[in-house]
Amino acid sequence: MPEPGRTDRIEQLLAGGDRPAAASEAIRSLGPEVLRYLRSILRNEGDAQDAFSQFAENLWRGIGSWRGEGSFRAWTFRLAWNAAINMRNEAWRKRGRRLVTAEVSALADEVRTRSSLRVERQRQALDRLRESLADEEVSLLALRIDQELSWAEIAEVFSSAGDPVEAATLMKRFERIKARLARMARDQGLVE
């Protein structure tokens, strides 16, 4: 979980009109947790890195569109969720590489390199269980457990398609997923 007030600096930079500095700060400070989130959803290091690059570019270009109506962190994860879904839905992306600005690419590479080794070990332990889950289920777990977003923030992320999603609905879905994972973990001998 981010330390309290970590997005305050980003919001101050935005209020002062310094969008490039705000975007850089957002990628540096929130990037590692966004990358963990993308890895858990996409389950493929190459896809996660490509989605992270797309996320970083989208954040860089769109940071001025954040209106402060919800949390900046939830807005950031909405961008990451959209990048992950686009990665899954756009098979043509495998054939070519998008060109991004040198500055954004350097920031994305910096974050990827720092966190790659540590996260890879943790990811392998959970991959077998996650493979049985749908993308939305993995996303729900990652946002609540790994990123510690509130139910209201998670509802913001999942409402990005235009259809409002209620926090209570997500809470019930979360409990069903947890129960199913616990059964699977017991069946596979991962827990007693």
Give the integer Cα–Cα distance in Å for 81 and 86.
9
Q: Which residue has the tokens 């839905």?
A: 89
Residues 53-77: tens digit of each pLDDT:
999 999 999 888 887 778 889 999 9
How much is the average pLDDT of 101-109?
A: 71
Residues 127-156: tens digit of each pLDDT:
777 788 888 898 998 899 888 899 999 998
Instruction: Compute how many other C-beta atoms are within 10 angstroms of the C-beta atom of residue 190.
Output: 14
Higher per-residue pLDDT: 51 or 119: 51
Q: Name the pTM for this structure.
A: 0.64
Closest CA to 19 of 29, 11, 8: 11
